[in-house]
Amino acid sequence: MAAPALPKTRLDLNSKPPPNYVAGLGRGATGFTTRSDIGPARAAPDLPDKIPALGRGRGKGGAQGGAGDDDDDAEEKGYDENQKFDEFEGNDMGLFASGEYDEDDREADSIWEGIDKRMDERRRDRREARLKQEIEKYRASNPKITAQFADLKRKLTHLSSDEWDSIPEIGDYSMRNKKKRFESFVPVPDTLLEKARQEHEHVSALDPRGRAGGGGPGGGGTETPWAQTPVTDLTAVGEGRGTVLSLKLDRLSDSVTGQTVVDPKGYLTDLKSMKINSDAEISDIKKARLLLKSVIQTNPKHAPGWIAAARLEELAGKIQAARAFIQRGCEECPKNEDVWLEASRLQTPENAKAMIARGVKAIPTSVKLWMQAARMEKDDEGKSRVLRKALEHIPNSVRLWKAVVELANEDDARVLLSRAVECCPQHVELWLALARLETYEKARTVLNRAREANPTEPSIFITAAKLEEAKGDLARVGKIIERAIKSLRGHGVVIDREKWMRAAEDAERAGSVATCQAIVRATISEGVEEEDRKRTWMADAEEYKKRGSLETARAIYAHALTVFRAKKSVWLRAAQLEKTHGTPGTLDALLRKAVVYCPQAEVLWLMLAKEKWLQGNVPEARAILEAAHAANPNSEEIYLAAFKLEFENRELERARILMKRARERGGLERVWMKSAIVERELSNVEEERSLLDEGLRLFPEFHKLWLMLGQLETRVGRADVARDVYQRGLKRCPNSIPLWLCAAQLEEKIGGLSKARAILEQSRHKNPKMPDLWIAAIRAELRAGNKKVGESLMAKALQECPTSGILWAEAIMMAPRPQRKSKSVDALKRCDHDPWVIATVAVLFWQDRKVENARKWFNRAVTLNPDIGDFWAQFYKFEMQHGKPEQQEDVVKRCLSAEPHHGERWCRVSKAIENAHQPIETILKKVVASLDKDAWE
């Protein structure tokens, strides 16, 4: 028989299935249809007998069922499709209407709800940011009425009382209240007046009819006459209660001695201070009592249970029960010291001593019980006796030895400490205390014994070094510290640098400077890498200097200078420390050593020369500068310092020769400027002009030479030449603000305001955001009487430079007097820490006679910028009017140390030719005299 022929076409799994094909039908599976197959889905009613047929109909007979009659009514289907259709959710609304909501559905809903919350949390930040932005945008476009009238409300603070009174009252002008209403008056009845009189009447006696009736017909008091209560004076009844209370208190007093058993004044106060427990607290106490009862019954040897039970009863106010509990605790736990201490605390003072004696007898080695027994003694002798008795039982207790030594005198303390170090040889404090009480030789012996007993304790070596320093043997101090480091290392002790540096600081505070220096020398390098030594040591020195440990900082600098001898920065830091906190001798010695090791450091030579000059030793300063010039022959700074020395001492010929030498050696622009200053001082106009022209030929970009030449031409009356000089200088130096200001001042003086205004506008165009140019323009307008223009310029200036303190200070003083306070508030908001604003606020306090506030704000201004001389002048003038002589001297002294160089009025006075050689104190007083009286008083 031949095999069956294979089909010629292969089946494709992706091909279209045959009609009415149901996968797995042969295995008993049922078919299903989707919504796209049959249209809107509806849940059929519970018809158990039709469910199999329904599955089969969907599989094979689905077409037959679908092709049946369409006129089957709703009763055969069991539901009506038209009634269950929802316009919003469609036909899906009733899809699961017949299903039950079980635990799986509830769990699924909770999971989806958690997912929704999680997604909402992720979007919350963006949603809140967007909502906040929309709210801010809405508020910006629709501001509140309070915000719209904020500036007007601020102006209300400046209204006078008359202006306030002139504001009309707001009344009700509506027409409905215009009509006059009819008013009628009716007389008060007599009965009402009589009732009011009886209500306010005080009766001081009982009703006579009530007394006559005796309380009733039978006189038994069981019936009130006329069925009325007798009228009494209630005020008198209250006073009577107070009298009865005072009589009771008097009855409590002793009739024999007159001493009162109860304090009458504090009786009611004590009653008020009594704590009344609430029901909840009482319930809590009962629960705690029950728990603690079970604790002490199940484990009677547990001492904390007895203590807790006693304290609970004490808290509940039952002190006798508390004593009973703790007494039982002492019987059950006689070896527990806490029980005995609690028992003595709960007892009266008389019984507490007996209780603690029982405790000591039960536990003779308890330090706490012996200390408590000593505290119960009233005098030192009794305490010492108890402590000595305790030491017989506990000879190795350091706490007992310390307590008994504190109560003894010096001789007894020495004997006691001798015995204490034998009993407690490992305790270093006892050894050190004994060494302090002994003489020098015996103290050395004691410290040697202490070192043998405690070879790893550094404090013994430090005390020995202090002992040698106190004796005056400074050479042994360093050896002892070095031996200490070596010995500690030999015994395996790690040298902690921070701990030793703290010990050095403690030694300085104790007055042992040599010990401090020795400790720093021996331990400063411990644990520091070689490349980090300079940075670490400088940081340590600055930190100790801030903490006030100057000797420690000086020792660190001294050791650093032995390692970094050629480092200029280290010498400068050490010199600054000596200048601030040292003496002139120490500073001079340090600087002389510095210039030996760093001869090329010009600043060190100049510091040394200046110190000699300030001390009044001009020849010595001149010799130092000559030595500096020999070490640095081409140094311009040394030439200028020598010039200043000769110029300030009026040695003008010497100064001229020095500047000539400097020019011959190729001096820079400052040399030419100083040369011109010498000629100006000597009134050599032609020589001064020649030097300035030659300097400008060599250095045309140096604006100070242009300024000096312009001022020279102005001084000799050649205004046109000065104008030409300024114009040429501005072409070379367009960013020089002083040059623009001088040119504008010249034009204002000779050409009027219009040319000065044009120059200032041009300067602001080339140098934007420069407050000095704005102030010059504003003041020019104010001098010309154009107040409105000046205010307009000020507004523009504050828009361009909103954080300029000098502009805000000018704006405050330009404002009317009632508005200056609000203007200063705005200025402080813009630039809180600007010295110009702070000085102006101080002036406002000065005008209001608020002396302390003004002094505090002037102090802030000169602290923030001590280089501005105008602040010092205002401060000094203020102290001259409202301060004491010592306060005025303090301002002058601080000004001399600050050496100010800037400030409008200060520079105007100090750079005048007649004030060229004046000291700072003289210039300060001249600036004070030149202050505008109307502006600053």
- Dump pLDDT digits (tens) for 632-661: 888 888 888 888 888 888 888 888 888 888
Task: Grade residue 278 by pLDDT with cuts at 50, 70 and 90.
Answer: low
- pLDDT score at 780: 92
- Do both 322 and 411 map to the same domain? yes
Arithmetic mean of pLDDT, 679-700:
89
Given this model, what pLDDT does residue 170 score?
Answer: 64
Q: Quote the pLDDT of residue 867.
A: 93
Q: Are residues 408 and 291 in the same domain?
A: yes
Q: Whose CA is closest to 928, among 912, 905, 910, 911?
A: 905
pTM score, whole prediction: 0.59
Q: What does the pLDDT average to over 672-684?
A: 88
**What pLDDT score does 14 carry?**
67
Instruction: Please state which of the ranges 204-208, 315-319, 375-379, 409-413 shows the lowest mean pLDDT.
Output: 204-208
Size of the chain in residues: 937
Boundary-marking domain end, from 521, 546, 564: 564
Report how far residue 203's alpha carbon sits from residue 214's, in angstroms, rounded to the nearest whole number: 19
Q: Is residue 373 domain-shared with residue 485, that is, in the same domain?
A: no
Question: Residues 323, 389: one domain?
Answer: yes
Long-range contacts of 226-233 (CB under 8 A, 24+ apart): 230/206, 231/203, 231/207, 232/203, 232/206, 233/202, 233/203, 233/204
Report if residue 893 sits inside a domain. yes
Tell me what pLDDT residue 39 has: 54
Instruction: Classify burial at 689, counting beta carbons within 10 Å of its beta carbon; exposed 0-12, middle 13-18, buried 19 or more.
Output: middle
Q: What is the extent of the structural domain holding 334?
A: 277-431
| Whether residue 417 sits in one domain with residue 461 | no
Same domain, 324 and 398: yes
Same domain flag for 331 and 293:
yes
Q: Which residue has the tokens 């004070």?
A: 928
pLDDT at 806: 93
Q: What is the rounded end-to-end Cα distance, in angstroms, of the chain?
A: 138
Q: Residue 305: which CATH number?
A: 1.25.40.10
User: Would you state the pLDDT for residue 229?
Assistant: 45
**The pLDDT of residue 893:** 92
pLDDT at residue 558, as a whole number? 92
Share of the chain above pLDDT 70, in %: 79
Q: Does residue 859 sit within a domain?
A: no
| Range from 76-90, 142-156, 211-225, 486-500 that averages highest in pLDDT | 486-500
Phi, psi of 464 (to 5 degrees): -65, -40
Q: Please give the full DSSP string across 836-881, using - where no structure is assigned.
A: HHHHHHHHHHHHTT-HHHHHHHHHHHHHH-TTBHHHHHHHHHHHHH
Residue 844 has pLDDT above 90, yes or no: yes
331-344: pLDDT as tens digits = 888 888 898 998 88
The domain boundary residue, chosen from 499, 529, 564 = 564
865 CA to centre of own chain: 23
Q: Where are the alpha helices (DSSP H) in 615-667?
A: 618-631, 636-648, 652-664
Residue 932 in this model has a pLDDT that exceeds 60: no
What are the CA-CA distances from residue 399 to residues 416, 437, 451, 454, 490 (Å)? 13, 19, 22, 19, 32
Predicted local distance difference test score (pLDDT) of residue 778: 93
At 132 the pLDDT is 87
pLDDT at 269: 54
Confidence tier at 50 by pLDDT (50, 70, 90): very low
Whole-angstrom Cα Rg for the chain? 52
Answer whether residue 215 is part of any domain: no
Confidence band of 173 (pLDDT split at 50, 70, 90): low
Residue-level pLDDT at 247: 65
Q: Above pLDDT 90, what percent of the chain?
A: 26
Partnered with residue 86 across adjacent β-strands are 90
Give the separation between CA 80 and CA 77, rounded to whole angstroms. Answer: 8
- Shared domain for 422 and 461, answered yes or no, is no
Residue 242 has pLDDT above 90, yes or no: no
* pLDDT for 925 beyond 80: yes
Kindly provide the residue ranges of all beta strands, DSSP E only, lying in 476-580, ordered along the sequence: none
- In this predicted model, which residue has the larger pLDDT, 66 or 867? 867
- Give the three-class secondary structure for 472: coil
Q: Is residue 418 part of a domain?
A: yes
Q: How confident is the model at residue 166 (pLDDT cuts 50, 70, 90)?
A: confident
Residue 74 in domain: no
Specify the number of domains making up the chain: 3
Q: Are 652 and 678 in contact (CB under 8 A)?
A: yes
Tens digits of per-residue pLDDT, 469-482? 888 888 888 888 99
For 498-517, how does the pLDDT look when each residue is reduced to its tens digit (9 = 90+)? 999 999 999 999 888 999 99
Tens of pLDDT, residues 376-399: 888 888 888 888 888 888 888 888
Say how many CA atoms lie within 13 Å of 501 toward its Cβ.
17
Please state, in angstroms and rounded to a whole number, the distance separating the CA atoms of residues 493 and 279: 64
pLDDT for 26 equals 67
CA distances to 565, 853, 899 from 877, rounded to whole Å, are 48, 15, 18
Per-position b or e across 5-40, b if 16+ CB within 10 A of its CB? eeeeeeeeeeeeeeeeebeeeeeeeebeeeeeeeee
Residue 395 lies in a domain: yes
Confidence of residue 915 (pLDDT cuts 50, 70, 90): confident
Q: Is 922 within a domain? A: yes
* pLDDT number for residue 151: 76
557 and 504 inside one domain: yes
Q: How many CA atoms lie within 13 A of 160 on its CB side?
A: 3
Checking if the pLDDT of 70 tops 60, the result is: no
Query: Is the per-residue pLDDT at 176 higher than 60?
Result: no
Smallest CA-to-CA distance from 370 within 343, 403, 346 is with 403
* Gap between the Cα atoms of 875 and 863, Å rounded: 12
Last residue of a domain, one of 534, 564, 594: 564
Reported as a single tens digit per residue, the pLDDT across 576-598 is: 999 888 888 899 999 999 999 99
- Whether 479 is covered by a domain: the verdict is yes
- Same domain flag for 410 and 491: no
* Residues 678/694, Cβ–Cβ less than 8 Å: no
Q: How far apart are CA 213 and CA 226, in angstroms?
A: 10
Give pLDDT, residue 892: 92
For tokens 């820490």, what's the residue? 833
In this prediction, residue 32 carries a pLDDT of 59
Residue 314's pLDDT band, with cuts at 50, 70 and 90, is: confident
Q: How far is CA 907 from CA 355, 415, 922, in A?
A: 86, 75, 14
Bigger pLDDT: 311 or 25? 311
Other C-beta atoms within 10 Å of 324: how many? 15
- Indicate whether 414 and 496 sit together in one domain: no
Range with the poorest average pLDDT among 223-232, 422-431, 913-922: 223-232
Q: Which pLDDT band, with edges at 50, 70 and 90, does 873 fall under?
A: very high
Distance CA 868, CA 809 (A): 14
Mean pLDDT of the chain: 80
418 and 489, same domain (yes or no): no
